[in-house]
């Protein structure tokens, strides 16, 4: 990715707050500021308010709960049902009930992925090494 260096003048209080957050997250100040700026840029539609609130609450969760969330999956039954409906959708037109169920399962999968990603992000900011993705598979 191409990047451009930028110098920004901040009030001392703001700088100290940013430095404190960077220290708490074991991150460099430039990386923290870069991520904060990129988060505020338009581009992706905002998440629904309830989803934003849920994901923001993860910062206060204990590590053991975050690990459970980071390793969560759909149940075996849900996985098999979604796979079956997807196969059948390639072979024929699904009924309205089947399409609704498929969408329900896809929505559950999307929510699970968001939860996993947010939990992993919080764990990473707490200093856990997630570079080996097998740690997210659990036992």
Measured distance CA(44)–CA(54) in Å, rounded: 18
Per-residue pLDDT, 77: 96
Q: Give burial (CB, 10 Å; 0-12/13-18/19+) of 123.
A: buried
Per-residue pLDDT, 10: 87
With tokens 């590590």, the residue in question is 63
User: Which positions of the chain have pLDDT values less than 70?
Assistant: 1, 44, 138-139
Cβ distance 72 to 116 under 8 Å?
Answer: yes
Residues contacting 35, CB < 8 A, separation 6+: none
Per-residue pLDDT, 44: 67
Q: What digits encode the pLDDT tens for the residues 11-38? A: 998 888 888 877 777 778 888 788 778 7
Per-residue pLDDT, 22: 77
Report all structural domains of the chain as residue ranges with CATH numbers, in order of start: 1-44 (1.10.1220), 47-136 (no CATH)
Residues contacting 72, CB < 8 A, separation 6+: 112, 115, 116
Per-residue pLDDT, 14: 87
Per-residue pLDDT, 68: 95
Per-residue pLDDT, 19: 86
The sign of the torsion formed by the CA atoms of 123, 129, 133, 134 equals: negative
**C-alpha radius of gyration, the chain, whole number:** 20
């Amino acid at each position: 990715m191409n990047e451009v260096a930028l110098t920004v003048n901040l009030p001392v209080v703001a700088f100290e707050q940013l430095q404190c957050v960077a220290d708490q997250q074991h991150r460099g100040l430039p990386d923290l500021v870069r991520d904060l700026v990129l988060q505020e840029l338009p581009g992706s539609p905002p998440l629904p308010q309830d989803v934003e609130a849920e994901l923001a609450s993860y910062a206060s969760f204990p590590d053991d709960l975050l690990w459970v969330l980071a390793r969560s999956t759909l149940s075996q039954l849900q996985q098999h049902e979604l796979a079956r409906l997807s196969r059948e959708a390639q072979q024929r037109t699904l009924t309205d009930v089947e399409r609704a169920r498929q969408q329900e399962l896809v929505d559950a999968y999307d929510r699970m992925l968001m939860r996993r990603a947010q939990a992993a992000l919080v764990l990473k900011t707490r200093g856990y090494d997630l570079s080996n993705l097998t740690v997210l598979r659990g036992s």
